[in-house]
Amino acid sequence: MMIDFKNISLNVEHLSEFDKEKSTILFLHGFTGKSVDWKDVAEQVDERFNKIALDLVGHGKSSSPADIQYYKIESMIDQIDHILSYLSLKKIILIGYSMGGRVALSFAIEKSDFIKGLILESTTAGIKSEKERTERKNSDDELAAYLEKNNFESFIDKWLDKEIFGTIRRFSNVKIKTIKEEKLKNSRAGLANSLRGFGTGNMDYLGDKLSELKMPVLLLSGQLDSKFTKLNAEMQKQIPNSKHVVVSNAGHNIHLEEQKKFVKAINKFLIP
């Protein structure tokens, strides 16, 4: 379903039959991902929920505008707000992975009345140090420039070669090839602008606002992803009604690497 928003179109995929009597879960993918990345997960999530997923701006079937303002978090919050209004959704459960988790966290802080539950997979509240944030912004900008100047496939290889994704190398060559092919279906310009508009270095630090979250929050990190496990342990202390689950044998992309454990954790959160 394509939903128009201020001269762009946003793609929302229904991953289950829609029943207006049920609560709705909205899934947000990570950088270089797409809404359909959640299809296998959604099929296993408790049937008492509607499941929809959004192609974030610059990704999947959504528009990839040249105007960088559409990729700023203020606009993305407005985009999600518009989608909820369009679909007549007053309260949702929001699930976000990595970049999608940063969008979900930002939305939950700004629009808390719309959120009845928040699930964050491998998510950070941003970078506290201004110096480190500037360094990351410069790194994101350099990566965006590399994407624009080089072969798209070489960029995806470079992205997946990051240490944080090292654990997916255990997959078969066939599966890794499929993962790359799916990422290559994205827009080169959209990904570059996404890095410039909402790379981690361009995100405001939200650590001081975590205590404002009043809804139930589930934080998920992979046992093999020591950086994000440490970050999420710190976040859990700051979020009043939160739980942190460390998923064994998983790296950064838990829902891809250990899908059954991921689904078990979120179903337990949804239906205690």
Give pLDDT, residue 157: 93
Burial of 38 by CB count in 10 Å (0-12 exposed, 13-18 middle, 19+ buried)?
Answer: buried
Give pLDDT, residue 20: 86
b/e 150-169 (16+ beta carbons within 10 angstroms → b): eeeeebbeebbeeebbebbe
Contact (Cβ atoms closer than 8 angstroms) between residue 2 and residue 8: no
**Average pLDDT value for the chain:** 96
* CA 68, 62, 92, 126 torsion-angle sign: negative
What's the pLDDT band for 272 if we cut at 50, 70, 90?
confident
What crossing angle do the helices spanning 188-198 and 99-110 adopt, rounded to 10°? 50
CATH class assigned to 2-127+205-270: alpha beta
Whole-prediction pTM value?
A: 0.96
CA atoms within 13 A on the CB side of 48: 6
Q: In what order do the strands lie in the sheet with 217-222?
A: 2-5, 8-14, 49-54, 23-28, 92-97, 115-121, 217-222, 242-247
Tell me what the mean pLDDT of segment 252-267 comes to.
97
* 31-67 confidence digits (pLDDT tens): 999 999 999 999 999 999 999 999 999 999 999 999 9
Q: How far apart, in Å, do the first and last CA atoms of the chain sit?
A: 32
The residues that bridge with 25 in the sheet, in sequence order, are 51, 93
* 156-173 confidence digits (pLDDT tens): 999 999 999 999 989 999
